[in-house]
Amino acid sequence: MVKQELVDVVDEQGWPLRVVTRKHAHRFGLMHRAVRVLVFNRRGEVFVQQRSKTKDVNPGLWEGSLAGHQRHGETPVHTAVREAREELGLRIPKRALRRLGTYLTRNAKDRLFYTLFSVKGVTKTPRLNRAEVQAGYWEPRELVTRHTRTHPHKYTPGFLIAWHLFSRRK
């Protein structure tokens, strides 16, 4: 029997309401938590990835470095560390994560309460988990800004919001 992933259903301030399976949260459009991490190398380039075409949400779209659902009982920092290892094969220390804030987003299957982080100075080349990520590369910030403005349909809704929030903080 496959173990169901549990997530916390939350209100618009991120306060937990109850625990359900991720599948149930998607099926009924219940808001639950996720994290997004913008990973930068020493040159200040951000890693962008193309989601696998087999993903059930936003297949084949581009997004910032990594994102993932926060499991019941996890903190946003623990989720960020876990997802970095699972998606990109990167071991990011908790102390390297800089919390940039929270935001809400909605797509075809998810209503998400995101916690946004950044990490700078990464020296390792990501090792892509092909079940999660189809392609990825380092891109200068100016190009990411230009591409998200000229071709927003090629990016996940959650990343477009995150990049806008990040860009405003400079």
Kindly list the domain boundaries of the chain, sorted by start residue. 6-42+65-130+158-168
* pLDDT given at position 37: 97
End-to-end CA distance of the chain: give it in Å, rounded.
Answer: 48
Q: What pairs with residue 10 in β-bridges?
A: 16
* pLDDT given at position 2: 59
pTM above 0.95, yes or no: no
Q: What is the 3-state secondary structure (H, E, C) of 44-100?
A: CCEEEEEECCCCCCCCCCEEECEEEECECCCCHHHHHHHHHHHHHCCCCCHHHCEEE
pLDDT at 125 over 70: yes
pLDDT at 107 over 80: no
Distance CA 136, CA 72 (A): 29
SS3 37: strand
- The CATH topology of domain 6-42+65-130+158-168 is Nucleoside Triphosphate Pyrophosphohydrolase (3.90.79)
* pLDDT given at position 1: 55
Calculate the CA 109 to chain-centre distance: 15
* pLDDT given at position 160: 94
Distance CA 151, CA 166 (A): 18
